[in-house]
């Protein structure tokens, strides 16, 4: 977990490794940039902490983690903290208290800092215009954007664009190219192999270490490509119908490849296990992969649970070809966007499950009731596989009793699967 150092005498906070050498008695530490900013500090111009991954610690309470995921999904873009608390079944006051205790910020401050940091990366990495950057980062207006950037970075967006360094801009011969930052270690080979083995034919592919997939935004098709970058980032190339709200596309892509949580505590716990310990030591950068769409990964798990591997790939291909939306001209075996629950309600094998989702009887975004609800219509193994891909820390889709691995069985299962 990255710890940020803030210097009281300068009012500046830095990431680890910065060349500044302040006196220890003048330094305070924060686990998130947003917390340092909420305390009145501004980002260091030398080490640029907005360019590194600012993940939430894996020991953070489940309620706060669920709230963070909803914020990342954009809930606070158009609603307030009251709506966020209502979604989680708690009061806004209780939620703010939990955020202050564990993250050092309010939900609104966390959301604003994320938007501003993403915008700053767009100003560095791309040639998008100022207005395009504002709306791509989820700001509701240019006035709101300018105010947030002045408060957090003490400069206007135009001044920040002028400060970018020669090596920041990513060359693009098509699409929008961005860095997906992570805190090392991170094992892209293991993650891309995991995703490649479970790729939905026609929708996903992994070729020469690059993960590609079709997506749909407001009914319009898009394409994402993710591959190795540098020692602290992957490279995302996004071909999208529009740039508005692209922050949420990038966040979903990062979650898909396991960048949303750095499993420091989980890794330490599993290292002590006699069987898993050597695997963790050999590949410390393994993460728990997420999913682009909850329904898509649920369909995968159900089909693969009911059929043999070869049969399940053929069945998924046919579902995509018959019910998916064609996206021509992409190459790499990509032909369709994955169909939604309404489209698959008529499918023979998956239809009953799709109808339950379409009717709202199964809420794939509801972490509290997800597994019990799933187990009424799918097997326990499939339910646990879905929960793992949707962010549950303690899902176990494999056989046998492994109580000693709680509460980090999801990461333990991924190690078993990629070993």
As a whole number, the mean pLDDT across the chain is: 92
Regarding predicted confidence, which is higher, 174 or 203? 203
DSSP state of 78: H
Average pLDDT of the segment spanning 190-195: 96
Task: Give the CA count within 13 Å in the CB-facing half-sphere of 120.
Answer: 25
Regarding predicted confidence, which is higher, 372 or 96? 96
The CATH number of the domain holding residue 269 is 3.30.310.20
Average pLDDT of the segment spanning 307-325: 94
Residue 258 sits in the same domain as residue 358: yes
- Give the residue numbers spanning the domain of 255: 176-418
Neighbours of 236 (CB within 10 A): 23
* pLDDT band for position 64 (cuts 50, 70, 90): very high
Residue 217 sits in the same domain as residue 361: yes
CA dihedral over 323, 327, 330, 331, signed as positive or negative: positive
Among 370, 363, 412, which Cα is nearest to 387's?
370
Residue 375 sits in the same domain as residue 396: yes
The CATH number of the domain holding residue 135 is 1.10.10.60
- pLDDT by residue (tens digit) across 216-254? 999 999 999 999 999 999 999 999 999 999 999 999 999
Buried b (16+ CB within 10 A) or exposed e, 338-358: bbbbebbbebebbeebbbbbb
For residue 171, being part of any structural domain is answered with no
Give the orientation angle of helix 81-88 with respect to helix 107-125, to 10 degrees: 110
Say whether pLDDT at 302 is over 70: yes
* pLDDT band for position 16 (cuts 50, 70, 90): confident
Q: Distance (Å, rounded) from C-alpha 226 to C-alpha 179?
A: 10
The pairs formed by 297-301 with CB atoms below 8 angstroms and a separation of 24 or more are: 297/386, 297/389, 297/390, 298/353, 298/357, 298/364, 298/374, 298/386, 299/338, 299/344, 299/350, 299/353, 299/354, 300/198, 300/200, 301/378, 301/382, 301/385, 301/386, 301/389
Average pLDDT of the segment spanning 94-110: 95
How confident is the model at residue 1, as a pLDDT? Answer: 60
Average pLDDT of the segment spanning 29-53: 92
How confident is the model at residue 377, as a pLDDT? Answer: 83
Q: Mapped to the 3 state alphabet, what secondary structure does 224-251 carry?
A: EEEEEEECCEEEEEEECCCCCCHHHHHH
Is the CB of residue 357 less than 8 Å from the CB of residue 334?
no
For residue 56, being part of any structural domain is answered with no
Domain count, the chain: 3
């Amino acid at each position: 977990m990255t710890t940020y150092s803030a210097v009281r005498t300068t009012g500046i906070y830095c990431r680890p490794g910065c060349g500044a050498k302040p006196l220890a008695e003048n330094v305070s530490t924060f686990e998130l940039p947003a917390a340092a900013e909420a305390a009145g500090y501004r980002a260091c111009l030398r080490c640029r902490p907005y360019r590194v991954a600012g993940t939430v610690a894996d020991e953070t309470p489940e309620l706060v983690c669920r709230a963070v995921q909803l914020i990342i999904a954009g809930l606070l873009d158009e609603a307030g903290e009251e709506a966020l608390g209502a979604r989680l079944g708690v009061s806004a006051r209780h939620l703010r208290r939990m955020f202050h205790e564990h993250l050092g910020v309010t939900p609104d401050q966390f959301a604003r800092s994320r938007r501003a940091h993403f915008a700053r990366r767009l100003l560095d990495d791309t040639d998008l215009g100022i207005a395009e950057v504002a709306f791509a980062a989820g700001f509701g207006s240019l006035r709101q954007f300018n105010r947030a950037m002045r408060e957090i970075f003490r400069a206007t967006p135009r001044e920040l664009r002028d400060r970018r360094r020669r090596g920041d801009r990513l060359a693009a011969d098509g699409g929008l190219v961005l860095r997906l930052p992570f805190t090392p270690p991170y094992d892209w080979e293991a993650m891309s192999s995991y995703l490649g083995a479970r790729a939905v034919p026609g929708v996903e592919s992994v070729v020469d270490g690059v993960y590609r997939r079709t997506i749909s935004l407001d009914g319009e098709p898009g394409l994402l490509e993710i591959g190795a970058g540098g020692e602290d980032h992957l490279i995302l190339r996004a071909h999208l119908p529009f740039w508005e709200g692209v922050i949420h596309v990038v966040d979903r892509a990062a979650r898909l490849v396991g960048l949303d949580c750095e499993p420091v505590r989980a890794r330490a716990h599993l290292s002590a296990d006699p069987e898993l310990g050597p695997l963790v030591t050999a590949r410390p950068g393994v993460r728990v992969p997420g999913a682009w769409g909850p329904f898509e990964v649920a369909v995968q798990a159900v089909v693969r649970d009911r059929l043999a591997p070869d049969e399940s790939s053929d069945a998924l291909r046919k579902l995509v070809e018959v019910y998916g939306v064609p996206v021509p001209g992409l190459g790499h075996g990509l032909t369709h966007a994955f169909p939604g629950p309404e489209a698959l309600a008529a499918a023979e094998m998956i239809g009953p499950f799709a109808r339950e989702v379409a009717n709202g009887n199964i809420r794939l975004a509801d972490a509290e009731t997800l597994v019990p609800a799933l187990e009424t219509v799918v097997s326990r193994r499939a339910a646990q596989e879905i929960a793992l891909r949707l962010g549950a820390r303690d899902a176990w889709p494999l056989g046998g009793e492994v109580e000693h691995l709680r509460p980090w069985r999801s990461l333990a299962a991924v190690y078993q699967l990629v070993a």
